[in-house]
Amino acid sequence: MQIQKTGEPIRVRADHGIEVPDHPRIPVIEGDGVGADITPVMCKVVDHAVSQAYGGSRALAWHPVAAGGGHRRACPEANPLPEETLEILKREVVSIKGPLETPVGGGVRSLNVAIRQALDLYACVRPIRYFPGVVSPVRHPEDVDLVVFRENTEDIYMGIEWPMGSDEAQRLQRFLNTELGVAPLRFPSTTAFGIKPVSREGSQRLIAKAIQYAIDADRRSVTLVHKGNIMKYTEGAFCQWGYALAESAFGARRQAGQRGLWITNPVTGREIHIRDMIADNFLQQVLLDPAQFDVIATLNLNGDYFSDALAAQVGGIGIAPGANIGDGTAVFEATHGTAPDIAGQDAANPCSMLLSAEMMLRYIGFHEAADLVLAGVRGALAHGFWTPDLIRAAQRAQGHAQAEPAVTLAETGFALHPVGTRGMGEAVILYMDVPGALG
Ligand code: NAP
- 91 occurs within a structural domain: yes
Q: How many residues does the chain have?
A: 439
CB distance 317 to ligand 1 below 6 Å: yes
pLDDT, mean of residues 323-345: 95
Cα Rg for the chain, rounded, in angstroms? 23
**Together in a domain, 4 and 120:** yes
pLDDT, mean of residues 173-177: 95
List the catalytic residue out of 122, 227, 294, 431: 227
DSSP collapsed to 3 states, the chain:
CCECCCCECCEECCCCCEECCCCEEEEEECCCCCHHHHHHHHHHHHHHHHHHHHCCCCCCEEEECCCHHHHHHHCCCCCCCCHHHHHHHHHHCEEEECCCCCCCCCCCCCHHHHHHHHCCCCEEEEEEECCCCCCCCCCCHHHCEEEEEEECCCHHHHCCEECCCCHHHHHHHHHHHHCCCCCCCCCHHHCCEECCCCCHHHHHHHHHHHHHHHHHCCCCEEEEEECCCCCHHHHHHHHHHHHHHHHHHHCCECCCCCCCEEEECCCCCCEEEEEEEEHHHHHHHHHHCHHHCCEEEECHHHHHHHHHHHHHHCCCHHHCEEEEECCCCEEEEECCCCCHHHCCCCCCCCHHHHHHHHHHHHHCCCHHHHHHHHHHHHHHHHCCEECHHHHHHHHHHCCCCCCCCCCECCCCCCECEECCHHHHHHHHHHHHCCCCCCC
pLDDT category, 438, cuts 50, 70, 90?
Answer: very low
- 362 occurs within a structural domain: yes
- 333 occurs within a structural domain: yes
Based on the residue annotation, tell me whether 157 is a catalytic residue of this protein.
yes
pLDDT one-digit tens code per residue, 46-93? 999 999 999 989 999 999 998 887 776 777 777 888 999 999 999 999
Based on the residue annotation, tell me whether 280 is a catalytic residue of this protein.
yes
Report the C-alpha dihedral over residues 286, 124, 33, 400, rounded to 10 degrees.
Answer: 10
**Together in a domain, 332 and 239:** no
Which of 313, 329, 344 is the last residue before a domain boundary? 313
- The Cα–Cα gap between 244 and 229 comes to 18
pLDDT, mean of residues 17-43: 96
**Together in a domain, 210 and 184:** no
- Looking at residue 5, its pLDDT comes to 62
Task: Report percent pLDDT > 70 for the chain.
Answer: 92
**Together in a domain, 363 and 342:** yes
* Residue identifier of the C-alpha nearest atom 16 of ligand 1: 318
**Together in a domain, 217 and 323:** no
**Together in a domain, 221 and 284:** yes
Alpha-carbon separation of residue 261 from 105, 237, 287, 297, 408 (angstroms): 47, 16, 24, 15, 47
Of 276 and 403, more confident: 276
List the catalytic residue out of 122, 130, 157, 431: 157
* Residue identifier of the C-alpha nearest atom 31 of ligand 1: 101
Residue 435 scores a pLDDT above 70: no
pLDDT category, 303, cuts 50, 70, 90?
Answer: very high
- 134 occurs within a structural domain: no
- Looking at residue 403, its pLDDT comes to 46
- Looking at residue 359, its pLDDT comes to 97
**Together in a domain, 206 and 293:** yes
Average predicted confidence (pLDDT) for the chain: 90
CB distance 153 to ligand 1 below 6 Å: no
pLDDT, mean of residues 395-418: 62
**Together in a domain, 21 and 68:** yes
pLDDT, mean of residues 400-422: 65
pLDDT, mean of residues 313-341: 91
CB distance 393 to ligand 1 below 6 Å: no
pLDDT one-digit tens code per residue, 109-148? 788 888 998 999 999 999 999 998 888 888 888 999 999 9
- 361 occurs within a structural domain: yes
Mutate to test the pocket of ligand 1, among 336, 345, 419 (most ligand atoms within 8 A of CB): 336
**Together in a domain, 8 and 101:** yes
Which of 297, 313, 329 is the last residue before a domain boundary? 313
- 264 occurs within a structural domain: yes
**Together in a domain, 305 and 325:** no
The CATH number of the domain where 273 resides is what? Answer: 3.40.718.10
- 135 occurs within a structural domain: no
Residue 237 scores a pLDDT above 50: yes
Identity of the highest mean pLDDT range in 156-160, 180-184, 354-358, 406-410: 354-358
Contact 203, 241 (CB under 8 A): yes
* Residue identifier of the C-alpha nearest atom 8 of ligand 1: 339
CB distance 342 to ligand 1 below 6 Å: yes
Contact 369, 339 (CB under 8 A): no
Of the candidates 160, 159, 158, 250, the residue with the CA atom closest to the CA atom of residue 204 = 250
- Looking at residue 433, its pLDDT comes to 79
Least reliable range by pLDDT among 116-125, 131-140, 206-215, 394-403? 394-403
Question: How many C-alpha atoms does 433 have within 13 Å on its Cβ side?
Answer: 10
- Looking at residue 412, its pLDDT comes to 55
Which of 313, 331, 363 is the last residue before a domain boundary? 313
pLDDT category, 402, cuts 50, 70, 90?
Answer: very low
CB distance 339 to ligand 1 below 6 Å: yes
**Together in a domain, 253 and 275:** yes
The one-letter amino acid code at 406 reads A
Residue 408 scores a pLDDT above 50: no
CB distance 92 to ligand 1 below 6 Å: no
- 138 occurs within a structural domain: no
Distance from chain centroid for Cα 68: 19
Per the structure, the complete domain to which residue 285 belongs is given by: 145-152+198-313
**Together in a domain, 271 and 340:** no
Residue 411 scores a pLDDT above 90: no
Q: In the chain, how many domains are there?
A: 3
CB distance 112 to ligand 1 below 6 Å: yes
Bridge partners of 278? 226
- Residue 341 CA: nearest ligand 1 atom is 9
Q: pTM for this structure? A: 0.91
pLDDT, mean of residues 304-322: 87
pLDDT category, 406, cuts 50, 70, 90?
Answer: very low
